[in-house]
Structure 1
């Protein structure tokens, strides 16, 4: 499959554009290959374009001055970044950080082309649908942070990763928007209750039913 065909397969909205518009857009796209760990955008940085992810994934976070991180969402192939859309529409700088989780291939739609495409109903509908989906995700995140205790959220996170987790306490803390020390203390408590077994960079689920009770409060 050619790069153009793969992009169109990931993002069917491009095939819905009038042929002349689609050909013009395809000619003005910029392809980027970035290794895992690359910071693609950061706070107060100008937004240069609208990203389409072809391979890999991007983790979007909000970072504090103290180094704490709150994960907002991930952008997988076929999806795109609502914060990038918001910055382009509002002519504002980024207010979050985007990091390539894995080796990632993305295609950048330049800002001028994004502005032109908003006149096309198919593309405009795609952008608005993106906003609706991401706002629902962010509302769920706000609900989790505001109304569920951290031990409940940690239990639910562990249950979603299988019986044997190969991860660090820091990685779990990053996903929960917490700090490693607190997560480590909670995990030790879970281990003392016989819910999990801890070893270096590995967590084994021993009592899934008990974790489910913990997660449900």
Structure 2
């Protein structure tokens, strides 16, 4: 049973709602122009679609954790499921394990269930670093969008906070997710900004 749930978490993460809504509403593939998450959808399709995609991606993370918990899996399986939904978003099964998103929204959804208080501080740090990153023009040097850059600080901070509070399950999830987001961020930086991508 745990392995089926883990496979389901990865498959769920692999559903890129930015691509799904882009094809349904506009007949194109968002990944050709931008990153397929909420921020890319916001830039390319406007605030309504962007917010919808962000919320749907967030819901993937929530659903993966709640599914594992509802089946009363061991806490460590819950943490692995949280990480796998992010991995699926970053390297989607349905798209040949490439050209996924940055993983921030599904990560936030999963950690909102596992460590809601600590997540608030991590998101605040992510947004603060992202704002500073944009204002200082560092994006031109490092070729990575602002929110993924902010998450390089925010998610390790989240892992530290849950470790300090002695929550081993949340720490496993947060630390693994931080590595997944960081790894995808480096990959995106090497790929370079997609056409019309601005943050």
Q: Same fold (TM over 0.5)?
A: no
Structure in which a larger fraction of residues adopt helix: 2
Quick check: which has more Rg, 1 or 2?
Answer: 1
TM-score, normalised by the number of residues in structure 2: 0.29
